[in-house]
Amino acid sequence: MAVLVVLLVLVLTKPGFSQSNDGDNVMIGMYCGRNTLISLPNFIKNRNSTFNELRMQLLSKGVPYARAQALSAGDSVYSAVQCRNYLSVDQCVACFDAGVSKLANCISGNGGFISFDNCSIRYEDYADFYNDPYVMEDVNRTPNVLCGNQSSSQPTVFNQVVDGFLSDIRDATPKTSNLYVASTRQITGENATVYVTAQCAGSINQAICQTCMNTAYDKLNDCLPNTEGRFFHMGCFARYSDTPFFNVNQTTDITNFIKRHSSNVTIIAAVVAGVVLILLFLLSWLLYRSWKKSKMTEQDFEGAEHYNYKDLQLATNNFSEENILGRGGFGEVFKAVLDDTNVVAVKKLLIHHDGAKEEFENEIKLISNIHHRNLLRLLGWSIEGSYLLLVLEYMPNGSLDRFLWGAKRGTLNWNQRYEIVFGIARGLAHLHDEFHIKIVHRDIKSSNILLSDDFKPKIADFGLARFQPEDQSHVSTKFAGTLGYTAPEYAVHGVLSEKVDTYSFGIVILEIISGKRSTEVKSHSQSTDYLLENTWKLYEKKMHVKVIDDTLSLNRYEQEHVMKIIEIALLCTQSPASIRPTMSEVVLMLQEGQSLGKRQLTRPTFVNNQDRRVYIGTQVHNRVDVRKKGMNIA
Ligand SMILES: *[C@@H]1O[C@H](CO)[C@@H](O)[C@H](O)[C@H]1NC(C)=O
Ligand SMILES: *[C@@H]1O[C@H](CO)[C@@H](O)[C@H](O)[C@H]1NC(C)=O
Ligand SMILES: *[C@@H]1O[C@H](CO)[C@@H](O)[C@H](O)[C@H]1NC(C)=O
Ligand SMILES: *[C@@H]1O[C@H](CO)[C@@H](O)[C@H](O)[C@H]1NC(C)=O
Ligand SMILES: *[C@@H]1O[C@H](CO)[C@@H](O)[C@H](O)[C@H]1NC(C)=O
């Protein structure tokens, strides 16, 4: 019994990770994704096909790094493999095969990665990790470190030499053209040599590589005076050992990338230079302080960069009319080109309150830490006068409404529409349940959903609800603008919970299926029913197939699928809010393609635009009692 408990503790303290010695190729870490998928069999099929493609590339091109993607049937897989550059093609492929057979154990999630001494493999259902390996979504993937179990016989000198060596490797690796080094150094006065290699993932940028190498240095330093250490994180791999693991003729030259070690002759010069440097540093620090006083906002937040207002002005052609991408409830959005190459979107908001600036910064900190493929990424920000500027990912396809009733009407097929529904659900579930703070979007609507190149949805404007000017939040024009989407308990009583988003999501589903605005009335009939009301009436008569967009041609199977999704939409719009599903429940329902089962739908509550009254059950509430208080983030 006691043994069992001990074993359990051992297993539980290292969740998801294990290590094993696979011949001469130690496994440093392995992880399986936990996010849900549309269809697991499709995903596995795509994963296998990317693995075949990767193997072919390694063999035929003899490269140490390869990527492959398979996008069929909606469950896209993006993969990458990276071998240490000192290996032969055969050794590389042998490691790849070992990794693939281990990764076959990842059978339920949306991705996986594994790292050995000789190679690392990663696959995900999104491509973002190619450039930013730290795009994480579901868990906190901590760095993996394996220290050897043998201490050096000369710990003092070993520590000193290896520490200096590792710090040189840390500085040099990001500066090399292929973000890779392999190097050796003699232990002073000893008949021993230390071998070190380091490699950043794929072709990530220098800054991300540097961040990862900083962590690698810290962690490997903790292994000293052990004679071996291995480090792996999403962004890089590093290893040191006093046992050779590559040939001496395979080292890379790092002398140009490290600070030179001063000899006796240069010491005086160095001291003089040092004093000058310190003086310069003091001077610039003083300058910086006085400059900072006038520009209080010069703080860097993890993930989001601070931009100069002038740069953004230049990048948007002085916020010219031609650069306007859209106008939303929060302000105008401009297309901007940074450094002549990077296309981004810049959102310009007007601040009304004195307190808003600080609030804004706190909010930026929060938002910039949210990474999810279905949430629009915040890249940076700037404050100037009464303007707040947000630098956001640019989505060339624009917003979803364009594809439903706008210029691109009728161009999305059912598969694409379903993926959009599913993606929005996942993004909202992340905001509600997976991020450490619950964030209620409050303004989910088709014009807030942006589409990527491959028509994957990204939710915009999350976390911004608090910047909405108070006097516009619910009454008059603003309210009418998003009227068709707002949950009645929020519209009428100002009661806010995450179920407010569930309601709006239900409305967006109906728009995606019908290709109609939520507030559009049938033009050729006398009815003044809005989309939700109309859908409910058809559903009661079991005729909700009539809701489906005329431009969609569906086979029988697809039609049944659409009917189920309509029912889910109706479930999302039920009142009271407590009987609506959470977004995580919605994700599961969508994924498993369940029908409602025993759940009985009742007539949804809706807000009628024309006479501005809310129908809750059979009661009619006048909108006089709209309240604005009590709407903080839940
Ligand atoms: C995928 O590959 C694994 C291991 O190579 C194999 O067991 C499985 O049958 C393959 N699945 C499909 C759908 O091809
Ligand atoms: C050190 O680890 C190796 C395997 O990595 C093992 O074979 C050896 O017995 C260990 N030595 C000690 C002293 O624990
Ligand atoms: C250094 O060690 C190697 C083997 O570890 C041995 O062959 C060699 O003779 C040694 N050299 C000296 C100078 O001790
Ligand atoms: C891993 O690489 C080492 C060279 O560093 C090589 O000797 C070994 O055979 C490789 N292991 C496998 C399983 O390919
Ligand atoms: C490196 O050295 C090994 C043996 O020490 C030799 O087999 C190999 O050909 C050498 N490679 C190069 C590129 O010189």
What SS3 string covers 333-377?
A: EEEEEECCCEEEEEEEEECCCCCHHHHHHHHHHHHHCCCCCCECC
Give the pLDDT of residue 602.
87
Give the pLDDT of residue 622.
40
Is the confidence at residue 92, as pLDDT, over 90?
yes
Report the percent of the chain where pLDDT is more than 90: 41
Give the pLDDT of residue 603.
87
Give the pLDDT of residue 512.
96
> Which ligand is the nearest neighbour of the Cα of 228?
2
From the list 345, 461, 327, 346, the residue with the least C-alpha distance to 396 is: 345
Residue bearing the CA closest to ligand 1, atom 7:
104
Give the pLDDT of residue 489.
83
Q: How confident is the model at residue 19 (pLDDT cuts 50, 70, 90)?
A: very low
Q: Which residue has the higher pLDDT, 392 or 132?
A: 392
Give the pLDDT of residue 46.
93
From the list 449, 505, 489, the residue with the least C-alpha distance to 631 is: 489
For residue 22, give the ligand 4 atom closest to its CA.
13
User: Using one digit for the tens of pLDDT, what is the confidence trace for 553-577?
Assistant: 888 888 889 999 999 999 999 989 9
Cα–Cα dist 590/573, whole Å = 16
Residue bearing the CA closest to ligand 5, atom 1:
249
What is the spatial order of strands in the sheet that 331-338 belongs to? Answer: 305-306, 378-384, 387-393, 342-350, 331-338, 324-328
- Would you say the CB of residue 249 lies under 6 angstroms from ligand 5? yes
Give the pLDDT of residue 291.
56
Over residues 595-606, mean pLDDT:
78
The dihedrals phi and psi of 403, each to the nearest 5 degrees, come to -85, -10
Q: Report the Cα–Cα distance between both ends of the chain, in Å, rounded.
A: 45
Give the pLDDT of residue 1.
40
Residue bearing the CA closest to ligand 5, atom 8:
249
Q: State yes or no: is 443 an active-site residue.
A: yes
If you average pLDDT over every residue of the chain, what do you get? 81
For residue 23, give the ligand 4 atom closest to its CA.
13
Is the confidence at residue 17, as pLDDT, over 90?
no
- Beta-carbon contacts of 67 under 8 Å, excluding residues fewer than 6 positions away, are 54, 78, 79, 80, 130, 202
CA 117 – ligand 3 centroid, Å: 27
Place of tokens 């042998």: 94
**Range ranked top by mean pLDDT from 134-138, 181-185, 391-395, 410-414:** 181-185
Q: Which long-range contacts (CB under 8 A, 24 or more apart) does 536-544 make?
A: 536/570, 536/603, 536/604, 539/566, 539/567, 539/570, 539/601
Which range is least confidently modeled, 51-60, 347-356, 490-499? 347-356
Over residues 328-343, mean pLDDT:
82
Is the confidence at residue 408, as pLDDT, over 70?
yes
Is the confidence at residue 529, as pLDDT, over 90?
no
Record the pTM: 0.57
> Which ligand is the nearest neighbour of the Cα of 47?
1
User: Using one digit for the tens of pLDDT, what is the confidence trace for 163-204?
Assistant: 999 999 999 999 999 999 999 999 887 789 999 999 999 889
Pairing mode, if any, of strands 378-384 and 305-306? parallel
Give the pLDDT of residue 270.
58
For residue 49, give the ligand 1 atom closest to its CA.
14
126 close to 80: Cβ distance less than 8 angstroms? no
CA 48 – ligand 1 centroid, Å: 6
Q: Token pair of 487, please?
A: 């949950």
Give the pLDDT of residue 607.
66
The residue whose CB lies within 8 Å of the most ligand 1 atoms, and thus the one to mutate among 39, 48, 50, is: 48
DSSP state for residue 280 in the 8-state scheme: H
Over residues 251-255, mean pLDDT:
90
> Which ligand is the nearest neighbour of the Cα of 250?
5
- Would you say the CB of residue 88 lies under 6 angstroms from ligand 5? no
Over residues 592-606, mean pLDDT:
77
- For ligand 4, residues with CB inside 6 Å are 23-25, 87, 91, 94-95, 117-118, 245-246
Cα–Cα dist 572/501, whole Å = 9
From the list 442, 441, 476, the residue with the least C-alpha distance to 626 is: 476
Give the pLDDT of residue 509.
96
CA 250 – ligand 4 centroid, Å: 14
User: CA dist 543 to 508, 540, 548, 590, 598, Å?
Assistant: 20, 7, 10, 21, 20
Bridge partners of 457, per DSSP, are: 451
Catalytic pick from 75, 128, 443, 549? Answer: 443
The total of other beta-carbon atoms located within 10 Å of residue 268's CB is 10
197 close to 239: Cβ distance less than 8 angstroms? yes
Give the pLDDT of residue 527.
60
233 close to 212: Cβ distance less than 8 angstroms? yes
Is the confidence at residue 621, as pLDDT, over 70?
no
CA 89 – ligand 5 centroid, Å: 15
Give the pLDDT of residue 353.
58
Over residues 424-441, mean pLDDT:
87
User: Using one digit for the tens of pLDDT, what is the confidence trace for 273-301?
Assistant: 667 777 777 777 777 655 544 443 334 44
Is the confidence at residue 123, as pLDDT, over 80?
yes
What is the spatial order of strands in the sheet that 119-124 belongs to? Answer: 27-32, 111-116, 119-124, 77-83, 65-70
Cα–Cα dist 317/295, whole Å = 24
The residue whose CB lies within 8 Å of the most ligand 1 atoms, and thus the one to mutate among 44, 55, 100, is: 44
Report the percent of the chain where pLDDT is more than 70: 79
Give the pLDDT of residue 330.
66
The Cβ-side half-sphere exposure at 415, using a 13 Å CA radius, reads 9
Which range is least confidently modeled, 326-335, 405-414, 468-477? 468-477
CA 469 – ligand 3 centroid, Å: 76
Give the pLDDT of residue 98.
96
